[in-house]
Amino acid sequence: LNSFVTRTNTCGELRSAHVGQKVTLYGWVQYQRQGLFLVLRDFHGLTQVIIPQDEAHSHVKQLLSNAPLESVLRVTGTVSPRPLGQENPKMPTGDIEVKAETAEILNSCKKLPFEMKDFIKKSEALRMQYRYLDLRSFRLQSNLRLRSRVVMRMREYLCNLHGFVDVETPTLFKRTPGGAKEFLVPSREAGKFYSLPQSPQQFKQLLMVGGLDRYFQVARCYRDEGSRPDRQPEFTQIDIEMSFVDQAGIQRLVEGLLQHSWPEERGSIMTPFPSMTYEEALAEYGTDKPDTRFGMKIVDISDVLRGSNIHFVQNALSYPHGSIRAICIPQGVRYLTNKDLESLKESAKSQFNQEIMEIVRRPDGSLKSLLTKFLGEKVKSELIQALNMQEDDVVLLAAGEHKQVCSALGALRLLSVNLLEAAGLALRDPTAFHFLWVVDFPLFLPKAENPTELESAHHPFTAPHPSDASLLYSDPTKVRSQHYDLVLNGNEVGGGSIRIHNAEQQRFVLEKVLKEDSEVLSHLIEALEFGAPPHGGIALGLDRLISLIVDAPSIRDVIAFPKSFRGRDLMGSAPDYVTPEELEPYHIQVSWPLEEKEAKEN
């Protein structure tokens, strides 16, 4: 840590073994007390510096006593043991202090926009405006250094242990059909634009066609997704592609990669990771990214209630995909208020247009609900057994179309656990890391804006499941894909697939199923005609993964210079205006809305 620089030690490394040594430290003034001592801070830690009180060092005393907080100092002095009883066991350097002999203010700090202490709350906008100050905090320093260590270990695993080749792919490319919106970059050719790639997907497939066999990249990616919470317009992926591999091979690779690069201080992770199908995830958790750290699974109670005379139950079961399902909230009577329960019902109604019925199990074992008068004792008993209801549990029941019911209950499951934990019932271990593979996704989904048309569930290069390949040409809605997602604690941290390596199949998917212009991808389709090997890969979201490892409230806390919620750089005021003269070579004129034009002119 001290190679190539003029300090002798960092502010975090001095111990009792250094007593008597003359040292030179550099750092920022963290704290100063009444001209007696100050605390010097650098990236590595803190050291207490004793300010000399004798006349011979009066100039040093004056300089150190008057140095503003966060000023940069050089201090030279002798390491001494702290007086008996004044040791600080909370500081790694708490057994020693440095008695200053010479000092220099290398740069004085003006009045700060906020206090630098970690426990002082600052608005996120202010933190991002002065990001270079925020970066001095212990939390951000720790997050970025852990991120660096994880990436280095990943490189070691992939390149040194398994022969992957680190290849940089272009940032300026062309529009890709489907997927997220891409940023456009003007060119000097009138009407022609580059696109910033949302991933290096096409390039990594072309590298496989080129015979590279194993590719890896810490890839910068871009998505113009507007104002979405906890998303960034530019983000980082650990991007991987392999030839002659199947789904199981990619999964084993990723499990080994994460196990090798996992920070020791976060415990160990067990492999292989469990796996479940997309249909199982939806049926039991109501989502394709289940948080498996706690129970409260969705339970199918259709058969229990099938013989009842409840109108809405019979109505739901009369439909082809009708279903009656429920979740059981443990100790819901004790920890949830009536207001909480009403907010859960309202959430299901507003987000999913789904009505919710509640059932409470009283301390005497009986059930309280608007439904109970329609249920016989046998059905009540079967219901209690099916849901494993205990005293003071609350059941939320939904009836209707299978996917809608499951999605609504899955959302309520997550809202409920947040409410329970806020009220003091711990259900999720904050130190636990539950990885899960979700597999067998549908290859295509109906478009939200036009359900008669299809779009790729993953992307248009994903290969169909081998068992469903024939259905691609007769009933594409029933085709499963060779797409797999990696989920951690209810967050998607990776996604990949085995790719289509046959040109005709790729052309069919684009033109006949997705109704896309295959000419846009003619370079890729042509490449597949020149002996493309079977191949597949995955991309891990590095920002999301690191934020979960360090338990950061936002991915912005693991990125050195993130964008704001609205995609702006508040520190540098980007994006910014450019002059008409600067736009002229790109054949672009800005058409201003009237109110913006007036505001700009004023």
Residue range 467-519, pLDDT digits in tens: 999 999 999 999 999 999 999 999 999 999 999 999 999 999 999 999 999 99
Contacts of 270 (CB under 8 A, 6+ apart): none
Which secondary structure element, helix H or strand E, spans residue 138, and what is its range?
helix 138-155
Give me the pLDDT at residue 419, please.
Answer: 97
Same fold, 16-107 and 294-423: no
Residues paired with residue 143 on neighbouring β-strands, in sequence order = none
Comparing 24-28, 98-102, 179-183, 392-396, the range with the smallest average pLDDT is 179-183
pLDDT at 565 over 90: no
Residues paired with residue 318 on neighbouring β-strands, in sequence order = none
From the list 204, 10, 198, the residue with the least C-alpha distance to 92 is 10
Give the CATH fold of the 16-107 domain: OB fold (Dihydrolipoamide Acetyltransferase, E2P) (2.40.50)
pTM of structure: 0.93
Tell me the one-letter amino acid at 563.
K
The predicted model gives 565-583 an average pLDDT of 93
Split at pLDDT 50, 70, 90, the class of 175 is confident
Read out DSSP for 71-128? -EEEEEEEEEEPPTT---TTSTTTTEEEEEEEEEEEE-----SS---TTS---HHHHH
CB 68 within 8 A of CB 28: no
Q: In CATH, which superfamily holds the domain spanning 294-423?
A: GAD-like domain (3.30.1360.30)
CB 493 within 8 A of CB 475: no
Instruction: Tell me whether residue 97 is exposed, middle or buried, using C-beta atoms within 10 angstroms of its C-beta: 0 to 12, 13 to 18, 19 or more.
Output: buried
Alpha helix ranges (H) inside 395-452? 402-422
Residues paired with residue 367 on neighbouring β-strands, in sequence order = 361
CB 449 within 8 A of CB 457: no
What is the rounded average pLDDT for all residues in the chain? 94
Give me the pLDDT at residue 341, please.
Answer: 96
The predicted model gives 152-166 an average pLDDT of 98
Kindly indicate whether the domain formed by 140-276+434-557 is annotated with CATH number 3.30.930.10. yes
The predicted model gives 534-541 an average pLDDT of 98
**CA 474, CA 470: separation in Å to the nearest integer?**
7
Split at pLDDT 50, 70, 90, the class of 598 is low
pLDDT at 602 over 70: no
Termini Cα distance of the chain: 53
Domain boundaries, the chain: 16-107, 140-276+434-557, 294-423
CB 166 within 8 A of CB 207: no
**CA 437, CA 227: separation in Å to the nearest integer?**
29
Contacts of 148 (CB under 8 A, 6+ apart): none
**CA 245, CA 536: separation in Å to the nearest integer?**
6
From the list 360, 444, 434, the residue with the least C-alpha distance to 397 is 360
Residue range 222-250, pLDDT digits in tens: 999 866 667 899 999 999 999 999 999 99
CB 46 within 8 A of CB 91: yes
